[in-house]
């Protein structure tokens, strides 16, 4: 198997490419990056997977963008896709990813995040002469919760606190073990919270933007003092591609936004930016919509990423501040109300059934 970074990827499988980050990555890869090969997007199209996120890409890049509806847990189907498209590179996004859903329905997270990753690793291991890289996308939530000080580094011990983060931790360990045991050429990235265009409206920022636009309550867990580091999705995509091109095989890289903020302050920022775009009826400030709700179980208090390794080894830095990224995100949702309405109403699921069964 190849042990040194190779840039000439020809057939790159992106799993979960119809989801929020995966779709943005494919858009970046084909529209902005120096990648010249073919992207095979494999997605099961669960509730958050929407092929409409890439409808324009499919039209613009015929032959270079291919979509296959498939479940990464279906070993036989995935094996045929690996062979049919002569896959030489994998960028693995596919995962159940919402903490609240993992608390209610953890079994789906175990199946997709652990068993699905195992299947992909086995298939990659079976093509040693062809496989150039298996890049695994993970999260800072595997590290658990931070106190008021300090940052997560690549050396921070894992201490997941939810079924979601535990399942992602397990998949990280599997990927690393396949490198150590079988020599599989892998890289892993652990990122902070993403936001930006095409995010399914149940995550904090997208939910708050859309609720605020409609004058609905803005539910904030607990006292609102939980702190997250926020990463604009395009910055994340750039970092992933740099790691895939130049990252050292077998290594993990943290990707952070250098944008720590308490949840309550973040929601207030969203309210204030929206108020400058359009006033509520009666001119009332949207901050009045904020409502505190019971905290969720196992809610980590603070996440913060130290991405020194990524900066020093590969020269990556985020381009967007939290305010600049937030303004771009809000403008995107204002400009794409048809997408929002179809996703929130579930109409896109009807479209999926008509086109993909």
Residues with catalytic roles: 140-141, 164
d(CA 65, CA 58): 6
Q: What angle do CA 141, 143, 147 make, to 5 degrees?
A: 100
> Helix 233-246 and helix 20-31: axis angle, to 10°?
60
d(CA 252, CA 306): 12
d(CA 39, CA 32): 14
Q: How many residues does the chain have?
A: 357
- Other beta carbons less than 10 A from residue 355's beta carbon: 12
Dihedral (CA of 172, 197, 199, 342) sign: negative
Q: Are strands 38-43 and 193-195 parallel, antiparallel or unpaired?
A: unpaired
d(CA 36, CA 241): 13
In which element (H, E) is residue 293 found?
strand 290-293
d(CA 294, CA 193): 21
Burial of 317 (0-12, 13-18, 19+ CB in 10 A): exposed
């Amino acid at each position: 198997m190849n042990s040194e970074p190779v840039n000439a990827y020809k057939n790159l499988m992106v799993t979960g490419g119809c989801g929020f980050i995966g779709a943005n990555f494919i858009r970046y890869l084909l529209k902005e990056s120096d990648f010249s090969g073919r992207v095979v997007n494999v997605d099961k199209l669960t509730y958050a997977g929407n092929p409409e996120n890439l409808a324009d890409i499919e039209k613009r890049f015929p032959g270079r963008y291919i979509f296959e509806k498939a479940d990464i847990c279906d070993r036989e189907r995935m094996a045929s896709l690996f062979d049919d498209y002569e896959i030489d590179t994998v960028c693995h996004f596919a995962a159940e990813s919402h903490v609240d859903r993992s608390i209610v329905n953890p079994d789906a997270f175990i199946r997709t995040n652990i068993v699905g990753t195992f299947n992909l690793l086995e298939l990659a291991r079976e093509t040693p002469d062809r496989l150039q890289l298996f890049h695994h996308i993970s999260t800072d939530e595997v590290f658990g919760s931070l106190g008021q000080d300090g940052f997560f580094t690549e050396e921070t011990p894992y201490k997941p606190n939810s079924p979601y983060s535990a399942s992602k931790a397990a998949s990280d360990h599997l990927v690393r073990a396949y490198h150590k045991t079988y020599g599989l050429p892998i890289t892993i990235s652990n990122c902070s919270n993403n936001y930006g265009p095409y995010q399914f409206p149940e995550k904090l920022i997208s939910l708050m933007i859309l609720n605020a636009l409609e004058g609905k309550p803005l539910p904030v867990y607990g006292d609102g003092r939980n702190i997250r580091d926020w990463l604009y999705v395009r910055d994340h995509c750039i970092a992933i591609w740099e790691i895939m091109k130049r990252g050292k095989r077998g290594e993990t890289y943290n990707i952070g936004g250098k944008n720590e903020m308490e949840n309550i302050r973040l929601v207030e920022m969203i309210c204030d930016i929206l108020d400058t775009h359009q006033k509520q009826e009666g001119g009332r400030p949207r901050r009045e919509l904020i409502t505190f709700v019971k905290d969720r179980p196992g809610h980590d208090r603070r996440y913060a990423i130290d991405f020194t390794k990524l900066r020093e080894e590969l020269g990556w830095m985020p381009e967007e501040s939290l305010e600049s990224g937030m303004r771009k995100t809000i403008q995107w949702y204002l400009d794409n109300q048809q997408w929002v309405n179809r996703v929130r109403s579930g109409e896109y699921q009807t479209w999926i059934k008509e086109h993909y069964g």
